[in-house]
Chains A and B, each alone.
Chain A
Amino acid sequence: MPDPVVLKSGAEPWGAKPRRALSRRNIVLYGTLLVAALYYLLPLYVMIVTSLKGMPEIRLGNIFSPPVEITFEPWAKAWATACTGLNCDGLSRGFWNSVRITVPSTLISILVASVNGYALANWRFKGAEVFFTILIVGAFIPYQVMIYPIVIVLREMGIYGTLTGLVIVHTIFGMPILTLLFRNYFASLPEELFKAARIDGAGFWQIYGRIMLPMSMPIFVVAMILQITGIWNDFLFGVVFTRPDTYPMTVQLNNIVNSVQGVKEYNVNMAATLLTGAVPLIVYFVSGRLFVRGIAAGAVKG
């Protein structure tokens, strides 16, 4: 046994083992992360700088160089005056259409799917398994197969081409995956909580509203992110089920970018694309923090 009193900075190991900052492991690790980050950020960078340049500067062809003269005119044009087919009032019309599609679709689909999931997870009614299986199979049927029948159904109901029709379509198509999401989450909550609430005399809606809902904020946030981004980015249903004056933003964007008349205004196209992508982007940034909050903490042992 060596003498226990040794120099703290000496050759004897003492306390935490020192780690070198520039070890081979760190270089590989951070290097890989850096390359991956650059790979994803580069296109975004190109879009941003291009959208801030004027057309003469773009024609020089240096897509990576920062703008010499910063101009916000392409953004203004994309928002307010760019021509999409017959209308020349820019993306603003599509933006408000998209808002009017996304907000009700998201709220209704989440509300219905959460009740579905709760009923399937906690109230094992007769035929629950069959019902669930049918719902899940629905998630695997390709959308294209159902478009024509739905067009006919909406036409017969007299809401083809209206925003209401599109909201209904989005709500229905969100149902399988959202129900699955909620069912699995509610099934993961301790069953004894549900039992305790039943002993306390709470009914179906009371348990849902006062016990389950307050404990389920994380999954509601997840469902909201899924629905907002999914519906906002949707193109197929938007182009099929609406008319030019009810086009969502994505369809308008396509019409701006793919217009074949005149010069290609790359700066306007880039600005329009960034504007369209801004909403999902903001949703990700804002909700990321809510994500991590452990709300069910302390429900059970732990």
Chain B
Amino acid sequence: MSTLENKLFDIVVQKTGLERDRLSRDASIKDLEISSLDFVEIVFAVEEEFDIEVPYNANTMDSDFNTLGDIVDAVQAEVAKQQG
């Protein structure tokens, strides 16, 4: 597990109170019952942590992010953009 993934899962645990062992790249956001408002908070915390802006819109959440891996990838891409 990458450091980034680790940090991100820490944030998810902190914001949602979910058990850490339920989190994986393939875990579905729907199955984890993460609400769109929890998700707004998670994205905010991620943006603060990594100093990036994640292009997240609550209206299109379902089509943009299905799994935790999708968030990891989005964050990775934004971090790479910033370093590039």
The answer on A and B forming one complex is: no
